[in-house]
Amino acid sequence: MTNLPEFIQLHSDSSSLLVDCTKRTPAIIYWGKKLSQETTGEMLTLLSTRQEAKCSVVVEAPISLSPLLGQGFTGSPGIEITNNDIAWSLGGDLSNVVQVNSNEVELESVDKIRKIKTIHKIKLDQTSNVLALSTELVNIGQQPLNVNWCAAPTIPMTDEMNKIMSFEGRWSHEFQRNTIDLFLGSFVRENRKGKTSHDNFPGFLMHNEYTHENTGECYGFHLGWSGNNKLRAELLPEGRSYVQLGELLLPGEVELRENESYKSPTLYSVYSANGFNEMSACFHRYVRTQLLQEKVRNKPRPVHYNTWEGIYFDHDVETLKGLAEHAGKLGVERFVLDDGWFKGRRGDYAGLGDWVVDKDIYPDGLQPLIDHVNNCGMEFGLWFEPEMVNPDSDLYRAHPDWVIQTEGNEQLQFRNQLVLDLTRTEVVDCLFKMIDDILVEYPKIEYIKWDMNRDINHAGAFNGKPAIHKQTKALYQLIARLRAKHPNVEIESCSSGGARVDYGVLEHTDRVWTSDSNDALDRLSIQRGCSYFFPSDVMGAHVGPRDCHITGKRVSVEMRAGVAFFGHMGIEMDPRELTDHERGALSHVIALHKKHRNLIHNGDLIRANSDGDSINFGIVNAEKSQALFSYNSVNETKRTNPKKYKFSGLHADKSYELRLIWPTKLDEYSPSLLSKIEGKVFTGESLMQFGMQLPITFPQTTLIFELNQQ
C-alpha cells in the first residue's frame, strides 16, 4: 500500500469524518463534531487501542467500510456474494485512493484471489453537513458473481448512542416515531413491498437519553432508494456498535458477469451536536440545494386544488369547470385533475394502462377544461399511475404477459390492479409514448401527479428473475426521460400517500404526497415525522373535507387550514359544499400562506419537544429576523391552564413584534393574554427563556403567531 494516505480527513462547516487507511481495508474511525487540524488520525487510532480480552480474538476484526466474512467479522458483513468458487470469503486490500476534491474521496480495494474490486465513495457536503456514501462491487474475473447483499459503507457508532428512533406506520398513518433502547444484537427493519412503503421508512436516528429537539448529540441515516431495503443497528458483544443500510436483494436478483458492477443506493447521514432540529436543518438544506431542480426552487410553490376527494371518479366537464371557478376564487394557483379522466375509467376496476382521454366524458378532449382552468388563473396538472394496469383494459388484453408475476402462483388481489414489468424495454417505451403523446397534445399540462397504489407481491420479471432492483432503476429512467423531453412539467411522487417518499425518487421528482389522510389531527404527527428528513416545501399538505373521508373525524376549517398552511399547501374537497364562513376562512388563509410561503419553504424548522397534549413548531429565517410559530392543541391539558409556549430559535439580543395571525377569530371563555399581546414587542431572550402563557382552548385548536424583528 505504498503511496497511499494513512488517514483521510473530510470536513464540513460543523462536522468531520476520518477514515483509517492503515489496515488492509479502510474504516471510519471518527464521524462527528468538527475537529481541528491539530487532531490527527494517529492520535485517534492510538486512543482507540483495545487490549486482548479473555476467550476472545487477539485483535478484533475491523468495522471497516464493508466488514467482511473474510476478515473474520462476526457481525453483519457489509458484502455477501457467492459464485462457484470462494467469492463468499471476500477479503481484499486497499489499492487506490482518489481524492476527488477536499470533500470527496473514492477508495478502491481489490481481492486479487477472488478477482473482485470494491469502490467506496464518500462525500461530505460543505454547507449542509450531509455525508453521502455508496459501495460499488465490480466483477473483474470471468466467473459470474451473485450479489446477495452490498450495503452502503458501514458507520461505527460512538458509545453514547444507545437509543434508536425509527419511523413506521401504515397507509394513511405514516411516519410514526418509535424509540427503543439499543440492545445486544441487531435492530433490523426489512421492507419487501417493492417500493419505499408506508410501513417502514428507510431511515432512523441514533441518539441517547439526553437528546431532544434542541439539545444533545444525534445521527440521522436515510437510504435514498425507492425499492426494497434493509436497515440495521447492531451492538456487538465486545461493546462496539455500528449502523448499516442497503438495498434488500431477493435471491438471484443481481448477477454480475465479467466487468459488470453493482452500486448500492446512497446512504445519507447527518451528525448533530445540537439536537434533532439541527439534524433536520442539515437534511432540509441538502434536499433544497442538491436534490431539487433549480427552476422549482426559484418558483413559489403554487397552491393546489386536487379533484380526488371532491368528485372521485364522477367526472363531468361542466362540473369540473365549476370546481375550477370555485378554486380560482379561493386563490388556488394549480388545478390537478385526478384519477378518472382516461378511457374506461369509471372506478378502480378498469382502465389503468389505457392512457388516452375518454371521449365519452371529454368529447372534445381535455383542451376545453385546460383552457378554462388557465382562464381562471391556474396551471393545469394531471394524474397518472403508469406502473399499473387493470386486467379490464385494452393494454392488458393485448399484452397479458407484460405484468410482474411468478409462474404457477396465483396473483394476490390488490385494488383490481397488477404491476407492469418495467424490466421489459417494450413496456417502458409504450408507457413513455402514451404519456408523451398526452403531454405533446396538451402542452399546457405543467404538472403530473405520479401515483402507485399497490405493493409488488409477486416480484417476478419476464425472465423469471426477481424484478425489484431493475424495476426501480427503470422507473427512475422513465421519469428522467420524460423530464428531459418535457422540462417544464413538474412531477409529484404519490404512492397512496407516503409509500414512496425518499431521496432516491426525489432526485427525479419535485414534490411528495405525504399521506392519503387529510385528517388534520393525524397530519400533525405524520408531517412531524416526515419533517425529520424532508423540508416543508416538498411535503404536499391539503385542506380536506369537513368530515375526513378516511377517519370520519370532523375538524374545523381553522384547524385543517392551519395544519396545511405549513406544507406545500392545497385544498382537496368539493368547494361547492363550503359554508360562507369556510369559504371566507380558506380565502384568507390561502392569501396568508402566499404572503409567508417564502419563509415557510426556505426557513429552518424548529420543532418543540412533545408534551403529549399539543404538537408545536416554528419556522425561522436564516437571519432570525422573521418567524412563524404554531401551537396545535390535540388533547385537553391536564391542568386548568396550559404551560407556557417557548419560541425557540430566535436571537436573544433582538426584539420582536408578536402577532396572532390565525385564526382570525377565537371564541374564549374569558379574556386571555391574546387580547393584550397584539403588536407588543418582546426581547428574543424573554420569548425563548421565559415563554408566553398560552390561552385556554378546546382540543382541535391551532394558533399561528408571526414574529418580526424591530
Positions marked active-site: 451, 516
Give the strand order in the sheet containing 655-662: 604-607, 617-620, 626-633, 701-709, 655-662, 680-683
Q: Whose CA is closest to 229, among 260, 206, 204, 256?
A: 204
Residues 703, 674: Cα–Cα separation, whole Å:
10
Residues 552, 544: Cα–Cα separation, whole Å:
12
Residues 195, 202: Cα–Cα separation, whole Å:
10
CB of 566 within 8 A of CB of 604?
A: no
Residues 258, 493: Cα–Cα separation, whole Å:
36
Q: Whose CA is closest to 196, among 243, 248, 133, 148?
A: 248
Residues 387, 499: Cα–Cα separation, whole Å:
14
Task: Determine how many CB atoms are found less than 10 A away from the CB of residue 436.
Answer: 15
Check residue 35 and report its DSSP letter: P
Task: Determine how many CB atoms are found less than 10 A away from the CB of residue 186.
Answer: 13
Q: Whose CA is closest to 542, among 386, 381, 310?
A: 310
CB of 60 within 8 A of CB of 133?
A: no
Reported as type and span, the H/E element at residue 219 is strand 218-224
Burial class (CB in 10 A: 0-12, 13-18, 19+), 557: buried
CB of 66 within 8 A of CB of 121?
A: no
